[in-house]
Amino acid sequence: MICAFLLISAPSAVAGGWAVTYVDPMPSIQTSVTHTVGYWVLQHGTHPFAGDLGKTGLRFKSGADSREFVGVPLGEPAHYAVTFSLPNGTYEVFGVQGMFQEHPLGTLTVPGTLLVKPVDPQMVQGSTEGAWPWQEIAPPLKKAEAAPAPAAVTVPDESPGKPLPVWLVGAVVVGAAGLFLLLRKRLRPFARR
């Protein structure tokens, strides 16, 4: 049984958007036995998608064999369940996230457990502050949880009114330019869509 939640994300077919799939704890998956698994599809990893998300579920791929199981909405916003049965084998598992691109979640060996692919923490962005639509049953988030804010550069105050050293200002400018170029390179494939 997996003791942790699965955090996986997928970039959206719509530029600038993505979703994160959180899978409820899964039992050991047995051969040709029907299993029901709950999961959450949250935009930016923190909130339900506003509007019609479309079809969600799980897809299992083993070589040329691909099996997709469609989920059904549960009572909580962005919470779904999927029922599936699989023969012996090793499967790549993909989250089907409606209008958002599906994304590899990990590897499942039947009989056995799901080996989770870690999620990039940058894919969980935004805040749940003030907009917590869940009651007792909620996704594996803490209320008002958000991606950590970028660390601020702090400079010791040597004396009031004294300008910063030129080398420090230059280091900050070079670091910001490097971050901009890195983000531009990573986001370029999504901008073409």
pLDDT at 164: 52
pLDDT at 87: 96
pLDDT at 57: 97
pLDDT at 152: 41
pLDDT at 117: 84
Cα Rg of the chain (Å, integer)? 21
Which residues of the chain have a pLDDT value below 70? 1-16, 128-130, 144-193
Candidates 99, 17, 86; CA nearest to 51 is 99
DSSP-derived secondary structure for 132-169: ---SSS--S--TT-BPPPPPPP----SSTTPPPPHHHH
What's the rounded Cα separation, in Å, for the pair 162 and 13?
50
pLDDT at 130: 64
| Coil, strand or helix at 61 | strand
Q: Are 37 and 58 in contact, with CB atoms under 8 Å apart?
A: yes
pLDDT at 108: 95
